[in-house]
Amino acid sequence: MASGVSGYEREIAGIMKNELGRVCDEVHVDDFGNVVARKGSGRKKIMIAAHMDEIGLLVKHVSKQGYIYFIKIGGIDDRILLGQRVIVKTKNGDVPGIIGLKPPHLQKEEERKQLVKYEDMFIDIGCSGREETLGRVALGDPVIFEPNAGVLHDKLCYGKAPDNRVGCYALIRVMEKVSADAEIYAVATAQEEVGLKGARISSFKINPDFALALDTTVAGDTPGIKETETTLELGKGVAVTLIEAAGRGIIVPEKVKDMIIAAATENNIKFQLDVVEGGMTDGAMISMNRDGILTGVLSVPCRYIHSATGVFHLDDVAAAIDLTVKVIEKSAVN
């Protein structure tokens, strides 16, 4: 439910600092906004990263009539925006709004055939003019989708930003459970959605011997997705990434892939293999840092990713936590 558009992660960072502080030896927020926690000691340094930030919008302009125009922060399909309820996060508190557009009744036939672009949309906060609107919001204020969370059915849950609050939750649970002869760093990273920035900075500072990125990935068990695009299903286990963005992201080293699969097999943890043609995670940036860092990526499959509401399965979250713990234990002695 917390807010945390890229670059404006203060609210979720506060939660992560408190939660990691309960189970780690020390925790701090660096100058970039990453929450960095450390636990244990040993000859090896191991880093686990999960990004805090979420996709969202930012106030760009206010019209004479008091309507807000915006830019997108992160990858958002314009088609999901129209009619969404949003919250403008201001210094003086939350301001609710609705994303509007010229109604179809007044559109010409050619207009109705065209794909609506976000530049033509606006946010209505109920004010009657520019001065009134600017009395409530400011240019540069971040905008989130209206928070929502709950149980869809059985172990299927939904929420505003499972990408990547699910990973953040897993990060906390891993640090609660893990015990290994190593110095383990948990990093809740900032600004992943706009360039994997926090992972770059934190992994350079820590310079770990091994790293894992915890994230979400696209599920393929809904209409319109071909099995040649992805076969990942909710409830079938954690996704073990082999390659991202057709190689522009991380190409997980054979050594790391084999270790992760062995840990899953030995401990009867359900997993699925993920070959990603588009999209990257923090793992891509971590793996390229310094003189190269051995890095793997574990993800929870999620439906409707990068929209106002995503759906995920609790068993996949549990599998991600269990496998991360076992991989850390393996990497500490290998």
Identify the domain containing residue 17 by its residue range: 10-54+161-333
pTM metric for this prediction: 0.95
Q: Are residues 314 and 211 both part of a single domain?
A: yes
- How does residue 115 score in pLDDT terms, banded at 50, 70 and 90? confident
Residues 21, 27 contacting (CB under 8 angstroms): yes
Q: Are residues 119 and 29 both part of a single domain?
A: no
Q: Are residues 208 and 276 both part of a single domain?
A: yes
Q: Could you give the 3-state DSSP secondary structure of residue 168?
A: helix
- How does residue 99 score in pLDDT terms, banded at 50, 70 and 90? very high
Q: What average pLDDT does this structure show over 86-94?
A: 97
- Cα–Cα distance measured from residue 212 to residue 294, given in angstroms and rounded to the nearest whole number: 9
Q: Are residues 181 and 304 both part of a single domain?
A: yes
Question: What CATH code is carried by the domain that includes residue 73?
Answer: 2.40.30.40
106 has a pLDDT exceeding 60: no
Q: Are residues 141 and 272 both part of a single domain?
A: no
Question: What CATH code is carried by the domain that includes residue 37?
Answer: 3.40.630.10
State how far Cα 174 lies from the chain centre. 17
Of these residues, 9, 19, 183, 192, which one is catalytic? Answer: 192
Q: Are residues 33 and 50 both part of a single domain?
A: yes
Which pLDDT score, from 0 to 100, does residue 116 have? 84
Q: Known catalytic residue: 131?
A: no
334 has a pLDDT exceeding 90: no
- How does residue 105 score in pLDDT terms, banded at 50, 70 and 90? low
Q: Are residues 60 and 43 both part of a single domain?
A: no
Report the chain's mean pLDDT, rounded to a whole number.
95
- Cα–Cα distance measured from residue 165 to residue 159, given in angstroms and rounded to the nearest whole number: 9
Would you say residue 3 lies in a domain?
A: no
Residues 20, 35 contacting (CB under 8 angstroms): yes
Which pLDDT score, from 0 to 100, does residue 21 have? 98
Indicate the number of domains in the chain: 2
